[in-house]
Chains A and B, each alone.
Chain A
Amino acid sequence: MSTDKNTKTIVAKVPEGALSEKWSNYKAHQKLVNPSNKRRLDVIVVGTGLAGASAAASLGELGFNVLNFCIQDSPRRAHSIAAQGGINAAKNYQNDGDSVYRLFYDTIKGGDYRAREANVYRLAEVSNSIIDQCVAQGVPFAREYGGLLDNRSFGGAQVSRTFYARGQTGQQLLLGAYSALSRQVHKGSVKLYTRREMLDLVVVDGKARGIIVRNLVTGKIERYSAHAVVIGTGGYGNAFFLSTNAMGSNGSAAWQVYKKGAYFANPCYAQIHPTCIPVHGESQSKLTLMSESLRNDGRIWVPKKIEDAQAIRAGKLKPTEIAEEDRDYYLERRYPAFGNLVPRDVASRAAKERCDAGYGVGSGLAVYLDFKDAIERLGKDVVEARYGNLFQMYEKIVDDNPYETPMMIYPAIHYTMGGVWVDYELQTSIPGLYCIGEANFSDHGANRLGASALMQGLADGYFVLPYTIQNYLADEIRTPRISTDLPEFVDAERKISDRVERIMSIKGKRSVDSLHKQLGHIMWDFVGMGRNKEGLLKAIDDIKQVKKEFWSNVFIPGEGLDLNTELEKALRLADFIEIGELMARDALHREESCGGHFREEFQTPEGEALRQDDKFNYVACWKYLGEDKEPAMIKEELNYEFVKVQQRNYK
């Protein structure tokens, strides 16, 4: 990474040449590490999701000495496991006109022209290898009767390029990566550290050299060193309290490296997924996603007449009693070309628009996802074979049978496109620190297409990082193993111990969850699906109040030097509060609408997102300047050389 001091812009180290030749050129000319030197080089990988596990396994196979950390009891629990629908690849097995270029183009367009062209092209390029790799590992993808792999369609594409394993694709891909990782653990090239949570990055002479972690069973603070550190810790969607993320998913590792000097890019780009089970009440702890694949066959609607919507909300009318001509299939009406398969941001906003206008069902914040036509067309058996586990999941939660009465869905926070800034090599602005998977900002621009998160996580871990990190490590072969007795480690550990001590000693009256819910309401109301200047300014003020309340009135029972689940949550919440503020700040500065970031002041007469390309065609990279100081914003200009930037059109 290099910063041009005069223009304050960032250079992403994109290789020269035609789009389709950049990655080949890079690989042909990068530095490599020979086998005997690999053994002498330590790499820390934090996280064991698709990105972390695939990276740790691949680096172990190459011969590096890998230390791999996760907060759960086993690497197999990482939240990648919950991804349902599928993984994209440009195989064109369906002969429907797919290609690497088309996958690249759909991803750039889906991201509303806010991603880096070269990264996205590389992602599309390696997508096919991912499918090959997973099949070789024994991932049981869905197959046709002829024995070849089956595909389904996902939002934002007009081809069928999504590979899947029932409604459990993330699980199967993660278990594939986990098995590859387990093989390396057996071989001794990867050492696993479970129930360990990273609490700080250690930087020595400007280079990432280690991490400080808390052992979640004993509460002890531990030091680990390496020649390079890789962060693969997922997104920060839980800043909203209610999201589809797992309870333990957090943004703390990303936040710690930001505070150590890594840029945080586009924090305001959060994805709101259109098909989640609506909120049931105040005791709700998380939201459950219903896979986007349901939109292949389900049709989304609300009543056409407002009095019907009112009667349904009052429990006086059932959805099945509403005649066909009285239903408003609003996605098909507004977007005839893509219909129910418009991208997630478009579908979410359309649902909000109908509910805000008074046509919502259920509590008023829900729309129908109806399989009546699919069941008539295909038969119940086929629908069950495709979506059975999702229907079962819905029925267990809502106590309603979706084969007979339409599902109710509403948008919820699902994924964060923003994250730690990385260059073409996935290196952050701190030398020797890499960031992969959802934790980085790289490939999805302002909106991620369905089935692309799995693709990106595995692309980074299997096929990109194991190459690019060698370009750095090749210059580290003379660096002996790093001692954890260096003053930088001692100092970092002391600061973390002090932080734990400080939180424990507040002994106030508020539980961590009550404060987290308070933050979540602010985020959802003002930094959610529709944002405006006034609301964002209020959010920043309100979040500051939550921060003050946290640091003066939180209560943590038990001891710091012990297993303490409340303390774990408190340490994460302290970071979420600050992440939430930066999200609001970024959303405020970006005076345009793009992808998942919708500023109400900037919309077309039809209510579509209105970008301001002349002013905002850049990645906003936030640089930490110190506690209670406003961060600086540095731009990485996005120069579209190969794609013509235009308004997205799914009509």
Chain B
Amino acid sequence: MEKTINISLKIWRQRGPKAKGAFETYKLDGVSTDSSFLEMLDQLNEQLIAKGNEPVVFDHDCREGICGMCSLYINGHPHGPDEDITTCQLHMRKFRDGETITIEPWRSHGFPVIRDLMVDRSAFDKIIQAGGYVSVNTGGIPDANAIPIPKPVADMSMDAAACIGCGACVAACKNGSAMLFVSAKVSQLALLPQGKVEAARRAKAMVQKMDELGFGNCTNTGACEAECPKNISITNIARLNREFLSAKIKD
């Protein structure tokens, strides 16, 4: 049987990057506990639109936890209180009847607010563009099985590659550091023979770009790992530091 709850929502509304924002409070009744958090926001927006108001703007797309488009700071946690999931996978059964839920955008120097809960994460693209790839062109490559890769190494690379680029790590970090994001890509590629060739150069280029874009330093608080919806490990940061150091030594 469908169960419903009534909730209050305290939501950050902000017209643009330079505008002053503020919390607005909304009441929402009859929310099915089977619905997802974003379906609850859809329901709120339908209610706002019915009254002729503008909906709350938030980023979302796949709604199955893989595209990395959804964000939201919910009750003080990136992607909400449940573990190992993105906001779109969060369900209303995790909330109580009568509860007030506070929703904010990612707050970080690197991610300016565009409108309400929508932020600009193009800095992540710029970091990848600086070196987050293996420099191969299409075609002219060896057979896929030409280089055997030990299964544990491939698995470790896959663990790092699972990053969805959502930015929760930056939002969770008191320094606004992007080290977990950068280290995940550096590790994924440095672990594989195909990416090893450029590992040091890649690490240096990506870290330089990260610094240039105004992300903060890493002080090993571990908040990023704790809030990462994909469980990306901070051991990747150690690997990034090794690659970065080796690039510096070569200079």
Q: Which residues of A contact B (CB under 8 A)?
A: 54, 57-58, 61, 72-79, 81-82, 91, 93, 129, 131-149, 165-166, 168, 170-172, 175, 178-180, 182-183, 185-186, 192, 194, 217, 246-248, 280-281, 283-286, 288-289, 392-393, 396-397, 399, 462-463, 466, 511, 513-514, 555, 557-558, 563, 565-566
Contacts and interface: CB of A to CB of B under 8 A. Distances in A.
B94 to A, nearest CB: 10
A396 B94 CA distance: 10
Contacts of A143: 148-151, 154
A179 B61 contact: no
Interface of B: 2, 31-32, 34-36, 38-40, 42-43, 46, 48-50, 52-55, 57, 59-69, 82, 84-85, 89, 91, 93, 114-115, 118, 120-122, 124-125, 128-139, 141-145, 147-151, 154-155, 157-158, 161-162, 164-165, 188-189, 192, 194-195
Contact of A285 (B31, B39, B66, B144): B39
B93 A186 contact: no
A140 B154 contact: yes
Nearest to A315: B1
B55 A557 contact: yes
B143 A132 contact: yes
B170 to A, nearest CB: 14
A148 B35 contact: no
B93 A399 contact: yes
* Best-buried of A140, A168, A286, A288 by chain B (most CB within 10 Å): A140
Contacts of B122: 73-74, 194
A256 to B, nearest CB: 21
Given A73-B121, A180-B133, A182-B129, A563 B57 contact: yes
B124 to A, nearest CB: 7
B68 A77 contact: yes
Nearest to A145: B151
A280 B132 CA distance: 40
Given A81-B67, A283-B35, A511-B49, A565 B91 contact: no
Nearest to B165: A76
A557 B52 contact: yes
Given A72-B61, A246-B67, 13 more contacts: A77-B68, A140-B158, A142-B158, A144-B151, A172-B158, A179-B134, A247-B60, A247-B61, A283-B31, A284-B35, A284-B39, A289-B64, A557-B52
Nearest to A288: B64
A182 B133 contact: yes
Contact of A77 (B61, B120, B149, B157): B61
17 contacts: A74-B125, A81-B67, A82-B67, A140-B158, A140-B161, A147-B150, A170-B66, A182-B132, A182-B133, A194-B122, A247-B63, A281-B35, A285-B38, A285-B39, A557-B52, A563-B114, A565-B57
B164 A171 contact: yes
Nearest to A166: B158
A557 B120 contact: no
A171 B125 CA distance: 16
Nearest to A557: B54
Given A132-B141, A138-B194, A396-B82, A566 B49 contact: yes
Contacts of A147: 148-151
A285 B89 CA distance: 12
A77 B91 contact: no
A179 B186 CA distance: 12
B61 A148 contact: no
B63 A285 contact: yes
Contacts of A511: 46, 49-50
A431 B168 CA distance: 45
B116 to A, nearest CB: 9
A179 B67 contact: no
Contact of B62 (A246, A399, A513, A555): A246
Given A76-B165, A171-B164, A246-B61, A129 B139 contact: yes
A31 to B, nearest CB: 19
Nearest to B2: A281
A511 B151 CA distance: 52
Contacts of A463: 138-139
B146 to A, nearest CB: 8
A9 B43 CA distance: 49
A79 B133 contact: no
B67 to A, nearest CB: 5
Contacts of B143: 132
Nearest to A285: B39
Given A133-B139, A555-B49, A138 B150 contact: no
Contact of B59 (A73, A136, A171, A288): A73
Contact of B91 (A144, A165, A185, A397): A397
Contacts of B134: 136-138, 179
Given A76-B165, A77-B69, A557-B49, A149 B144 contact: yes
A513 B195 CA distance: 45
A414 to B, nearest CB: 12
Contacts of B46: 511, 513-514
A531 B65 CA distance: 33
A136 B34 contact: no
A283 B52 CA distance: 20
B110 to A, nearest CB: 13
Given A93-B145, A217-B114, A396 B89 contact: yes
B32 A281 contact: yes
A61 B138 contact: yes
A140 B192 contact: yes
Contact of A61 (B40, B43, B124, B137): B137
Contacts of A57: 138
Contacts of B115: 563
A588 to B, nearest CB: 32
A133 B141 contact: yes
* Best-buried of B43, B114, B133, B141 by chain A (most CB within 10 Å): B133
A628 to B, nearest CB: 29
Contact of B161 (A75, A172, A397): A172
Given A81-B66, A143-B154, A183-B133, A135 B194 contact: yes
A241 to B, nearest CB: 12
A393 B65 CA distance: 8
A185 B145 CA distance: 30
Given A133-B138, A137-B194, A73 B69 contact: yes
Contacts of B148: 143, 146-148
B4 to A, nearest CB: 10
Nearest to A284: B39
Contacts of B50: 511
B53 to A, nearest CB: 6
B165 A392 contact: no
A180 B54 CA distance: 39
* Best-buried of B85, B137, B142, B189 by chain A (most CB within 10 Å): B137
* Best-buried of A166, A183, A194 by chain B (most CB within 10 Å): A183
